[in-house]
Amino acid sequence: MSYPSGRRFEWSIRSVLESCGWVTVRAARSKPVDLIALKDGRILLIECKYNTRISSERIDYLKKLAGKAGVRPILAIKKKYERSITFIDVDSGGEVKI
């Protein structure tokens, strides 16, 4: 995915989060993560993926970073022919309601 397409995708996820009451910050060039979301004392580090796999190295990095900060690592995934975005807790592997 090109940088502009990836940026648009991250902004669409940001809009979903903000419509659910989250305050979000987008990290330029996805360094160290794509989005940081804050709500009611909770903090999420979010990696956004559109119809692609995430490397085990990137997952390990996300877990390590979240562990250091004491926050929750989340994958936001949208498959090519689906409208909805799925949020997955990286630690448990389970789906998260946002």
Tell me how many domains the chain contains.
1
Which among 16, 20, 62, 61 is positioned nearest to 42, based on CA atoms? 20
- Greater pLDDT, 80 or 55: 55
**Do 96 and 37 contact (CB within 8 A), yes or no?**
no
In a domain, 19, yes or no: yes
Bridge partners, residue 20, by sequence: none
DSSP annotation of 85: -
- Greater pLDDT, 6 or 81: 81
Pairing of strands 72-78, 42-50: parallel
30 is catalytic: yes
What's the CA gap between 47 and 12, in Å, rounded? 13
What's the CA gap between 7 and 72, in Å, rounded? 22
In a domain, 33, yes or no: yes
In a domain, 95, yes or no: no
- What is the band of 45 on the pLDDT scale with cuts at 50, 70, 90? very high
Q: Indicate whether 74 pLDDT > 90.
A: yes
Count of residues in the chain: 98
Q: Kindly name the residue from 2, 12, 30, 55 that is annotated as catalytic.
A: 30
Domain containing residue 67: 3-89
Domain at 37, CATH number: 3.40.1350.10
In a domain, 96, yes or no: no
